[in-house]
Structure 1
Amino acid sequence: MRFRDRTDAGNQLAEKLAGVDLTDPLILGIPRGGVVIAAVIARALGADLDVVLSRKLPTPGQPELALGAVSEDGHVVINPDVAAMVHFEEDELDVIRRHEEAEIARRRQLFRGGADRAPVEGRSVIVTDDGIATGATMIAALQELRTRNPKVLILAVPVAATSRLAEVSRWADRTVCLYDTEDFYAVGQFYDDFRQVEDAEVVETLRGA
């Protein structure tokens, strides 16, 4: 299965979500690509839009490999499979975590302009990204959101690695995934147009919501 671009993926997800009973829905996208998809869903469902800020923690010496992720509230998730394969010192992880937390703070100011996060309690919250490879950033986001007492927490993604989808789905009340496969190398392989989304586009998308 392939998608033309993130807008196409968002439209297809919106169709799947249209029949779901939602209470005061809030659509949260993981920047940057997830915000494009979230905006499409929010428009289709007449829902509020915001970002959920979660960042990958790269493995020391192997930055392409996700050791885990950190959420906006500082909640850290470690991928046990990766942790078992690589050697790292705790102080190395602390340096990486602080670096990613600084990036989260930068994005918080840029994307929200100092405004508070959209309230979650008692609402139907849909969290999306352009795909799930390791799932670390999504797990960190879902775990953090759970502490804020949503009525229901829905994971909605166009594509995912099958083995990781099962793990990530544990943290959601409901999962909507258009396509999952073990023949998975990178999220971009499932898109005809997977251009990089810049900060300015995220800001414009959020302001236009």
Structure 2
Amino acid sequence: MNLFKSRADAGQRLAEKLITYKGKENVLVLALPRGGVPVAFEVANTLQIPMTVFLVRKLGVPGHEEFAMGAISEEDVCTLDHSLIQQLNIPKEQIHRVLQKEKQELERRLYKYRQNKKLPPLKDKVIILVDDGIATGNTLKAAIQALKTLKPKKIVLAAPVASSDSIQKLSLLVDEIVCLATPEPFYGVGQWYHNFQQTTDEEVLRLLQNSPKK
């Protein structure tokens, strides 16, 4: 069943639920690329607040990459699901290989999307962290832990759709969650979108260039 026509449609509907932040000073939208960027663009546009990307990479289980065994993000934060790693008996060398590969991709995106510039200061800011959906929540967990080291005043997690398990888990880490739907059973984010084509680097750059500036 499709809940959303596209990421842009989902972003417009998500923005309606975040309208209290419209035009407020000291609020910044952070998008998780690539899929979170078209959603975040609509949020930032409607609320007329600036946005940028926050870089985080899922660490996929070798051979079953769609399953996350952890994640890495900017600010050198790495989270690992130790119980899963133990359960699947994943060797340290394999974890290290995945980690190195994703670190390279993180660095590539940092150069591509922000020309290696650091994030703007987040201290005492209200951060609206946006993704196109939440399945396990592992990637977002790493993003939130990294964000907390930058001392924002408040973290609002915003996503059009999520599994109820992930919402339960992440609600302990943030100040507020805005989510439009938590359907069950939840097999993956893409099943709830009519158009879930992969977001390209070019689209990310175009949306970042056209987003509100302050």
TM-score (norm: length of structure 2): 0.92
Match of 1:19 in 2: 20
**CA distance, structure 2, for counterparts of residue 105 and residue 189 of structure 1:** 30
**CA distance, structure 1, for counterparts of residue 118 and residue 73 of structure 2:** 16
Q: Does the aligned pair in 2 maintain the 1:53–1:71 contact within 8 Å?
A: yes
TM superposition shift of 1:127: 0.3
User: What is the SS of the residue equivalent to 1:2?
Assistant: coil
Of 34, 45, 48, which aligns to 2:50? 48
TM superposition shift of 1:54: 0.5
TM superposition shift of 1:181: 2.6
User: Any residues of structure 2 matched to 1:39-188 within 5 Å, and which?
Assistant: 39-80=41-82, 82-188=84-190
Match of 1:191 in 2: 193
Q: Percent identity?
A: 37
Q: Does the aligned pair in 1 maintain the 2:71–2:142 contact within 8 Å?
A: yes
How many residues are aligned here?
209
Q: Which amino acid in structure 1 is aligned with residue 178 of structure 2? A: V
**CA distance, structure 1, for counterparts of residue 178 and residue 75 of structure 2:** 25
Q: Does the aligned pair in 2 maintain the 1:68–1:79 contact within 8 Å?
A: yes
| Unpaired runs of at least 5, structure 1 | none
Q: Name the stretch that deviates more: 147-156 or 168-177.
A: 168-177
TM-score (norm: length of structure 1): 0.95
**CA distance, structure 2, for counterparts of residue 78 and residue 95 of structure 1:** 14
**CA distance, structure 1, for counterparts of residue 61 and residue 120 of structure 2:** 31
Q: Does the aligned pair in 2 maintain the 1:23–1:124 contact within 8 Å?
A: no
| Unpaired runs of at least 5, structure 2 | none
Q: Which amino acid in structure 2 is aligned with residue 66 of structure 1? A: A
Q: Which amino acid in structure 2 is aligned with residue 197 of structure 1? A: T
**Against the structure 1 CA distance between its residues 30 and 133, is the aligned structure 2 distance closer, same or farther, given a 3 Å change threshold?**
same
**Against the structure 1 CA distance between its residues 132 and 81, is the aligned structure 2 distance closer, same or farther, given a 3 Å change threshold?**
farther
TM superposition shift of 1:49: 0.6
Q: Which amino acid in structure 1 is aligned with residue 124 of structure 2? A: G
CA deviation vs aligned residue, 1:110-129 (integer Å, no higher than 9, x gap) = 00123221221111100011
User: What is the SS of the residue equivalent to 1:175?
Assistant: strand
**Against the structure 1 CA distance between its residues 2 and 80, is the aligned structure 2 distance closer, same or farther, given a 3 Å change threshold?**
farther
Of 14, 36, 39, which aligns to 2:38? 36
User: What is the SS of the residue equivalent to 1:132?
Assistant: coil
Q: Which amino acid in structure 2 is aligned with residue 10 of structure 1? A: G
TM superposition shift of 1:23: 4.4
TM superposition shift of 1:107: 0.1
Match of 1:4 in 2: 5
**CA distance, structure 2, for counterparts of residue 182 and residue 77 of structure 1:** 27
Q: Name the stretch that deviates more: 188-197 or 74-83.
A: 74-83
CA deviation vs aligned residue, 1:19-56 (integer Å, no higher than 9, x gap) = 24854110011110101111111111111110010000
Q: Does the aligned pair in 1 maintain the 2:21–2:47 contact within 8 Å?
A: no
CA deviation vs aligned residue, 1:42-98 (integer Å, no higher than 9, x gap) = 111111110010000011232221111111122111235533431111221111111
Q: Does the aligned pair in 2 maintain the 1:66–1:82 contact within 8 Å?
A: no
CA deviation vs aligned residue, 1:145-201 (integer Å, no higher than 9, x gap) = 011011110000000011111112221111101111331111011111111110111
